[in-house]
Every structure is written in C-alpha cells, then in structure tokens.
C-alpha cells in the first residue's frame, strides 16, 4: 500500500528552518509570548456578567508595560539575527513584541461589545 503522506517528509524542512534560522525562530517566539499572555489573561472578560460595569486598571497597566519589556528582549535578538542570518524574518518577531497593548485593548473592547458589560471611566 502506498504511503501518500508521512511525518518524516515534514521533519526535514522544519529541522532545516530550526538549524538555519535559529535566532529568527527564537525572536518570533519572544514576540508571540506576550501576545499569548495577553490572550490568556484577557479571556477573563468573556466571563463577566452582562450589564455590569468593570474597571480593569491593573490589567490595562500590565498590557501597557508588556510591549516595553518584550521589545527590550526581542529587538536586540532581531538585530543580531538580521546581521548573523542575513534574513528579514526577525522583523516579524520584533513587530509582534510591540503589539500586545493594541491586541489587549481590542480584546477587551471586543468582549465588552459582545458580552454586554460596560467599561467604567
């Protein structure tokens, strides 16, 4: 019986990318980590009861500080990866590290619009 697809075929390109662009992959991972954190902590807004008023000051402060912390880590990694690997791929990781604030605010307002709670001033 012929085998049309095997995982062995997929492992070779993935290991090639990991070995040849290791710093780029690490930079993208550093850029994705704060966005994943914002997503996981922002899911709390989907469990707020409709009609209630909330004021998430601590969470908003956290997502405003997070891009600075992630940027201080991801941007140097991206610069080193650009010069060492001669690739523009680390720019994706650097850009991803700077958008957790925008993503978090969008997520909070999206939940407020769909669930029906209000954000207190």
Encode pLDDT of 85-121 as tens digits: 888 888 999 999 999 999 999 999 999 999 999 998 8
Residue 89 maps to a domain: yes
Residue 115 maps to a domain: yes
Distant-in-sequence, close-in-space partners of 64: CB < 8 Å, separation ≥ 6: 101
Residue 68 maps to a domain: yes
What interhelical angle do 100-115 and 22-42 show, nearest 10? Answer: 30
Residue 16 maps to a domain: no
User: What total number of domains does the chain contain?
Assistant: 1
What count of other Cβ atoms lies within 10 Å of the Cβ of residue 81?
A: 26
Instruction: Give 10-69 as a DSSP string.
Output: HHHHHHHHHHHSHHHHHHHHHHHHHHHHHHHHHGGGGGSPTT-EE--HHHHHHHHHHHHH
Residue 38 maps to a domain: yes
pTM summary value:
0.80
Residue 61 maps to a domain: yes
Residue 63 maps to a domain: yes
Residue 5 maps to a domain: no
Encode pLDDT of 8-40 as tens digits: 555 566 666 666 678 888 999 999 999 999 999
Domain that includes residue 104, residue range: 22-43+53-119
């Amino acid at each position: 019986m012929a085998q049309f697809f095997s995982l062995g075929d997929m492992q070779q390109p993935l290991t090639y990318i990991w070995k040849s662009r290791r710093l780029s992959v690490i930079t993208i991972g550093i850029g994705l980590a704060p966005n994943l954190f914002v997503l996981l902590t922002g899911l709390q807004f989907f469990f707020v009861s409709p009609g209630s008023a909330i004021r998430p000051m601590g969470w908003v402060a956290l997502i405003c500080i997070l891009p600075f912390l992630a940027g201080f880590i991801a941007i140097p990694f991206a610069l080193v990866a650009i010069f060492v690997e001669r690739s523009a791929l680390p720019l994706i990781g650097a850009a991803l590290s700077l958008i957790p604030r925008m993503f978090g605010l969008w997520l909070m307002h999206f939940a407020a619009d769909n669930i029906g709670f209000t954000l207190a001033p």
